A and B are shown apart, each in its own frame.
Chain A
Amino acid sequence: MDMLYITGLHKRFGDKEVLNGLNLTVPEHSIFGFIGKNGAGKTTTMKAVLGLLKTDAGEIVVNGEKVVYGQTSTNRYIGYLPDVPEFYSFMTAPEYLRFCGEVTGMKKSENENRCRELLELVGLGDETHRIKGFSRGMKQRLGIAQALLNHPKLLILDEPTSALDPVGRKEILDILMAVREQTTVLFSTHILSDIERICTDVAFLNNGVVGVQGKLSEIKTKYRSKEYLVETEREADLLILQKTFPNMQQTGRNQLIFHESHYTIFDMLCFVTEKHISIVKIERTEPTLESLFMEVARK
């Protein structure tokens, strides 16, 4: 079943068309990476899902229920962490979580337990100071705790790692890995290494539409690079190869790369056998998300 389903979402600010018929499907129990450049419209999309932003056209369905602007009933399925979470800074972390629990109508004892459990999970169990003095990373972790409070079916995080140092990033990613059993995670980012680390699904947002989306592994296969790298033992062999295959390019010591559109790997291998060229390695280069992203962005 799909936890979140968006079709034909349009949103313009003034004469600027930010979302231009966006379609997105987030399957249940995925960790879904929502990738896009700064200003691509990631935050706009998420706010629309939460009913915080009036859209111009399109339909958003969360857990089978339609989202209506200004109304909050679908938000009972959702835990949300905004890009810059702002809490009541005069409260302490436990006070804030308890307040959130009371607002959602949790029972008192259940609320107490859940708060303690979550503060432990995000490493704020011993924190007694008011939120006023919290660091960026601490706020982000408290933000995840409040988002998880009422066992959401869908956890939406807006760039949870962007403003953090590598240690803070790892902490957040570890927490997300830890909760994937209980919920579906949708998070936006422009940091591709985060995606590679934890995501099962991805979508690339570009020019107001989702360019490519699907399982990370499938996308990687689909966009598998058609480039090969050959490394020879002797330098002289490079010249022999290049004479027959002029479109091969030298990239390093004794290394050549070529693209499948120019020569097939089989022709190359026949030639190598025929000429008894000693090979150190032949490999198909891995597509990086970077190159994928560039390819999507170029379209």
Chain B
Amino acid sequence: MKSLLAFIKKETMEQLRSGRLIILGILFILLGIMNPAVAKLTPWLLEVLADSLAESGMIVTSVTVTAMDSWMQFFKNIPMGLIAFILLQSSIFTKEYQSGTLVLALTKGIQRYKVVISKTVVLAVLWTFGYWVCFGITYGYNAYFWDNSVVQNLLFSVVCWWLFGVWVIALLILFSTIAKSNTDVLVGTGSVVLVSYLLGLLPKLREYLPTLLTDGNFLIYGVEEAAIYVVSLIIALATSLICFVMSIPIFNKKQL
């Protein structure tokens, strides 16, 4: 337990001193502010552009913005947060393989699975924290400017998206224990997400794939029932767990 905590502490210190923590912190805060800001500025932007639009024959009627528009922005922008997160963390294992820093820690007697757990915990906490900070900021502004109660399935839809992030991180961990370089990690993780996305275009498969969880917009407008999402939610949860469990024996046998 002590060695696990020591390793988690080391990971946290690394996130902090390498600047990754700060970059991600700023990014998620900015994203959180951007969602309501863009929604708020849309009518004003249209007004500014009204004259030129009128010249080209378009009539701009006054638009009313609601919290809905801000939440739409949320689901449009949060992928940027996840992509930045994955890019920044893709070398969390491979950097240690390449520099050889794990060798000493392992010869000090820390069990290999604790290395996997530490890194997973730090990534999961970081993602969770960043994601909910972003959500919290958007929620706060929305409540201040408009009214969040017009939104349907709000909590469920954002939990779905959060879990999608967890699923991608689980893939990142798995590929990190298999691959040697962070390019391979990114290619592996990206491919699985892409395949899930492409298969999701087939109506028959859509409901069974984790990428469905990113379609939060259908939920908040009430276009789709929350119940449709439950299957892919369970599948994402299960595959995340499988990825994590598989990564331990793979890492145990890895030549360092």
Which residues of chain B from 1 to 54 have any CB-CB distance to chain A below 8 Å in the complex? 2-3, 5-7, 9-10, 13-14, 17-18
B238 interface residue (CB < 8 Å to A): no
Contact B107 A90 (CB under 8 A): no
The chain B residue with its CB closest to the CB of A100 is B108
Name B110's closest neighbour in chain A (CB-CB): A103
Identify which of residues 83-126 in chain B touch chain A, using a CB-to-CB cut-off of 8 Å. Answer: 99-101, 103-112
Query: A82 touching B104 by the CB < 8 A rule?
Result: yes
**In the complex the two chains form, is B100's CB within 8 Å of A84's CB?**
yes
Residues 97-126 of A at the B interface (beta carbon under 8 Å)? 99-100, 102-105
Check B3 against A104 for contact (C-beta < 8 Å): yes
Question: B256 at interface (Cβ–Cβ under 8 A)?
Answer: yes
Interface string of A123-134 (1 = CB under 8 A from B): 000000000000
Task: Tally chain A residues at the interface, Cβ within 8 Å.
Answer: 29
User: Does chain B have a CB within 8 A of A78?
Assistant: yes
- Whether B149 sits at the interface, judged by CB under 8 Å, is no
Asked if B252 is at the interface (CB within 8 A of a chain A CB), the reply is yes
With A70-B253, A86-B99, A90-B18 known as contacts, the answer to whether A75 contacts B5 (CB < 8 A) is no
Q: Is the CB of B107 within 8 A of A52?
A: yes
A103-B18 contact, Cβ under 8 Å, with A70-B252, A86-B103 = no
B3 touching A102, Cβ below 8 Å: yes
Interface string of A81-103 (1 = CB under 8 A from B): 01011111011000100011011
Q: Does B106 lie within 8 Å of A52, measured CB to CB? A: yes
Indicate if the CB atoms of A72 and B106 lie closer than 8 Å. Answer: yes
Contact surface of A with B, Cβ cutoff 8 Å: 50, 52-54, 70, 72-73, 75-76, 78, 80, 82, 84-88, 90-91, 95, 99-100, 102-105, 146, 149-150
Write the residues of chain B forming the contact surface with A, with a CB cutoff of 8 angstroms.
2-3, 5-7, 9-10, 13-14, 17-18, 99-101, 103-112, 252-253, 255-256
A-B contact pairs, 9 of them (CB 8 A): A50-B107, A70-B112, A72-B111, A75-B107, A85-B104, A100-B105, A103-B6, A104-B109, A146-B108
